[in-house]
Amino acid sequence: MPSQRTQLYALRRLIMQVELNLLHIPPNQAARSQEILDAAQGLIKDMIEQEKVPVAATLGAKGGAQTAKRGSEYFRQLAAKRKTRAGGRPRKES
């Protein structure tokens, strides 16, 4: 099965072929079709550009925001817990 990018390029080529065929139709009949094809081609171009950026890079850009919300004190406390209790649950006091 072809990749999504291959399918997008194939769809783009089909739209270009339809545009070439519209050149042989009288202009008053082809105007709206040309507008729709231009919009479709713009959408496909955007989809191809978005696919070039890996999803992990998009998600990775959000990583620092959550860390900044918690602040450095939160991570100091976590580190202290790891040192004293090895990150586990506190013992019962009897």
Taking only the tens place, the pLDDT of each residue in 40-91 is 888 888 887 877 766 666 666 666 777 778 888 888 888 777 765 555 666 7
Domain boundaries, the chain: 1-52, 62-86
Dist. CA 46–CA 48, nearest whole Å: 5
Report whether pLDDT(2) > 70: no
Q: What does DSSP assign to residue 24?
A: T
Q: Report pLDDT for 58.
A: 63
pTM: 0.45
Dist. CA 51–CA 32, nearest whole Å: 29
